[in-house]
């Protein structure tokens, strides 16, 4: 196997692992993925995750291709962005608590409306872009991989960005369908328990975004 091809394969494997590692911790996007999978269908949950993966790819591109000017703007607006994201998460968490108190209906029908999926995608994208800390994470990743040098290695950087996107998307695909399968197996009570957990977690993350030091 040519040395260059082996290098690209190793880089692609690293990108997949990074994508999974960045998205694996349960955060706002992960909760959104599971919640939409339960409320509508696993594909709807996946589209929320796809929005998050796209946001990760944007941040990874900024880090890899040296778009420091955009990153400086994001850092300058870090608190307003975090505060806005925190308010949105608080609203979602409170709305979910109200929903739990009113009633609970397990997902029984596949919702194929494109608008639902577009909204899910945009919600996942907004939550990701509203967290500039992720951009700093990718700058650290690319620095560790030695890809922040000038001039930019476009091939290596492109491979890493694409595979990070794929790794993140694959993780959220597995998360969405796994959560749906577990809830379908264990019934409405399990779904209700998750909703309570999700509402609490969203509120905690929202409060942390609002009141944590920048």
pLDDT in tens, 191-211: 677 777 777 877 887 787 677
Q: What is the DSSP string of 161-183?
A: HHHHHHHHHHHHHHHHHHHHHHH
Kindly list the domain boundaries of the chain, sorted by start residue: 3-104+112-211
pLDDT of amino acid 106:
47
What pTM does this model have? 0.71
Question: How many angstroms separate the Cα of 1 from the Cα of each of 4, 5, 6, 8?
Answer: 9, 7, 7, 11
How far is it, in rounded angstroms, from Cα 44 to Cα 116?
A: 7
Say which residue, 92 or 31, is predicted with more confidence.
31
Average pLDDT across the chain, whole number: 77
Residue 166 has pLDDT above 70, yes or no: yes
Best-predicted range by mean pLDDT (45-59, 115-129, 133-147, 187-201): 45-59
Q: What is the pLDDT averaged over residues 41-59?
A: 92
| Locus of tokens 């409405």 | 188
Please say if the pLDDT value at position 6 is more than 60: yes
């Amino acid at each position: 196997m040519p040395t260059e091809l082996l290098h690209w394969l190793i880089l692609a494997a690293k990108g997949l692992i990074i994508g999974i590692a960045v998205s694996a911790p349960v955060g706002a996007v992960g909760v959104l993925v599971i919640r939409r999978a339960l409320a509508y269908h696993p594909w709807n949950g996946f589209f929320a995750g796809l929005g998050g993966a796209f946001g990760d790819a944007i941040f990874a591109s900024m880090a890899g291709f040296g778009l420091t000017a955009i990153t400086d703007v994001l850092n300058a607006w870090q608190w307003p962005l975090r505060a806005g994201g925190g308010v949105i998460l608080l609203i979602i968490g409170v709305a979910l608590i109200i929903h739990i108190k009113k009633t609970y209906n397990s997902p029984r029908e596949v919702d194929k409306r494109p608008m639902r999926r577009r909204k899910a995608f945009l919600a996942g994208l907004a939550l990701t872009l509203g967290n500039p800390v992720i951009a700093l994470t990718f700058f650290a990743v690319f620095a560790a991989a030695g890809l922040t040098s000038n001039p930019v290695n476009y091939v290596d950087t492109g491979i890493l960005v694409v595979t990070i996107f794929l790794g993140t998307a694959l993780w959220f695909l597995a998360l969405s369908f796994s959560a749906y399968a577990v809830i379908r197996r264990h019934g409405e009570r399990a779904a209700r328990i998750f909703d309570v957990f999700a509402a609490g977690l969203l509120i905690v993350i929202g409060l942390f975004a609002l009141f944590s030091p920048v």
